[in-house]
Amino acid sequence: MIKPDFNQQVPADLGVVHFVGIGGSGMSGIARILIGMGHKVTGSDLRDTSNVAALRDLGAEIFIGHDAKNLGNPDTVVVTSALWPTNPEYLLAKERGIPVIHRSQALAYLTSKRQVIAVAGAHGKTTSTGMIITALLNLGEDPSFVNGGVIASLNASSASGTGDLFVIEADESDGSFLHYDTSVALITNVDADHLDHYGSEEAFEAEFARFAQGAKSFVAISSDDPGAVRVTRLIKDHRVLTFGQADDATVRLFDVDASGARVSFALEYQGQEFRALLKVPGEHNAVNAAGAFAVLVGLGFDPQKSLAGVESFGGTERRFELHGEQRGVKVYDDFAHHPTEVAAAIKAARAVVGEGRIITVFQPHLYSRTRLMAKEFAEALSASDEVVVLDIYAAREDPEPGVTGALVSDAFKNKNQVHYVPEWSDVPAVAASLAQKGDFIMTMGCGDIYRMVPELLEALER
């Protein structure tokens, strides 16, 4: 993991831009907007993904694999914190004195002179951002946006609009969410994570308080999440709208029915009640909708029309996303990679599967998170009927001795429901052998576990 130099001045004109790791949702979204603005864009990534293919179609020159010769002669290089400090393109750019800026700095460049709605939180950012964007479009607005996932109805994670509003998913993992000139801050929750970067839960919450204090217009924040409640106490001299099931919430959520494939709920705001039925399942999505609604009414939009706009949201890529069915078994993929997210995703799936069973194929993400939260992961995953645990997706970290996926499987109270399968190639057959007609197999994690979906469908067919 590199430590970006946030003191690096962003050029007034980015010119030709080279992205190291261009295929990620955030990076590809920024690249897409820059191409639309007329910039020449090049880049590299480890795999030839759908994001890469889409950018190529727009005219970007993209190399697979990281190599110094990929760099060419750009005016600016954009990187993410997930890069290794030995990355040859990053090193050559630094050696040649080319401005190397972090992804968040490039996004701040794009959002300058716009009214920024920044969505932050340990969970629910991508969905909440998608809900706000979808609602704004339904309200007749034309916002710019960069989301952390593809919005299903738009088939895009970013766009450059003509309006004054710019909606972004703001990443808290490395503190880069502080770099935006934020007008409206939405904080979905402050559930401790990324302690490898922050060191302590207190430091994590203090950074969210700084993010909230930077919002020029108002802050919308959960009334229920304990971390968010503590952060709210730290916010001074700001307009604050709370949302959730607390009796004193500005936007009070109640009558939640998450028992089926679509969650219904009611909201109370300024003495009026509003009811909604979402196209997506799960109580957590009712909470996300309440947060999006708080942002919209805080901006002055009509409450009933705002909620209707949120209702039209059809989901995002890698959030309980159905990919196919073989011999009566449906295969889903979900981005959940924190115990709270895992529990919410399985609970939502349970409401949809009916009498079928849930087989979760879980890929832990990061050695530090696995070491710190193995017990919590086991507790969350145990809500499944069967669990297959892979080895750890390292991402930006070096391996830690003794830290493997076995830490999670060993923490299960019921050892009969968990199967530790460290070899990728062995997993599809194991998962398929566990499945019966009516079951769901759900791949889960924010690494590359989504790539296993075709293999699982093939194994089921066999």
* CA 375, 451, 430, 261 torsion-angle sign: positive
- pLDDT per residue as tens digits for the range 130-145: 999 999 999 999 999 9
Q: Where does the pLDDT of residue 1 fall: very low under 50, low under 70, confident under 90, or very high at 90 and above? A: low
DSSP assignment string, 270-304 = TTEEEEEE-SS--HHHHHHHHHHHHHHHHTT--HH
Active-site positions? 125-126, 169
Q: What 8-state DSSP symbol labels residue 110?
A: H
pLDDT (0 to 100) of residue 395? 73
pLDDT of residue 199 exceeding 70: no
pLDDT (0 to 100) of residue 427? 96
pLDDT (0 to 100) of residue 403? 92
Homologous superfamily, domain 321-461: Mur ligase, C-terminal domain (3.90.190.20)
H-helix or E-strand containing 76? strand 76-79
Burial class for 433, CB neighbours closer than 10 Å (0-12, 13-18, 19+)? exposed
pLDDT (0 to 100) of residue 196? 58
Token pair 């799960």 is at which residue? 282
Report helix, strand or coil for 137.
Answer: helix
Strand boundaries in 263-348, DSSP class E = 264-269, 272-277, 321-326, 329-334
pLDDT (0 to 100) of residue 197? 53
pLDDT of residue 195 exceeding 60: no
H-helix or E-strand containing 117? strand 115-120
Find the Cα–Cα–Cα–Cα dihedral 298, 190, 407, 379, rounded to 10°.
-70
Distance CA 159, CA 144 (A): 5
- Type of residue at 46: L
Q: Identify the CATH assignment for 113-311 out of 3.40.50.720, 3.40.1190.10, 3.90.1150.10, 3.40.50.10070.
A: 3.40.1190.10
Distance CA 355, CA 283 (A): 20
Average pLDDT over residues 418-436: 95
pLDDT of residue 194 exceeding 60: no
The CA–CA distances, whole Å, from 265 to 77, 278, 293, 357 equal 46, 9, 13, 26
Which is it for strands 76-79 and 100-102: parallel, antiparallel or unpaired? parallel
Cα end-to-end span (Å), the chain: 40
- pLDDT per residue as tens digits for the range 306-359: 999 999 998 887 778 888 999 999 999 998 888 988 998 999 899 889 899 999
pLDDT (0 to 100) of residue 344? 87
Global confidence as pTM: 0.82
Average pLDDT over residues 286-305: 97
Average pLDDT over residues 289-300: 98
Number of other residues whose CB lies within 10 A of the CB of residue 199? 10
The CA–CA distances, whole Å, from 264 to 42, 223, 275, 344 equal 44, 20, 8, 16
pLDDT of residue 80 exceeding 90: no
The CA–CA distances, whole Å, from 287 to 292, 343, 412, 420 equal 9, 15, 29, 33
CATH topology of domain 17-103: Rossmann fold (3.40.50)
Mean pLDDT of the chain: 91
Domain ranges (residues) in the chain: 17-103, 113-311, 321-461
- The residue that leads in pLDDT, 363 or 193, is 363
Average pLDDT over residues 146-163: 88
CB 350 within 8 A of CB 385: no
Q: Where does the pLDDT of residue 235 fall: very low under 50, low under 70, confident under 90, or very high at 90 and above? A: very high
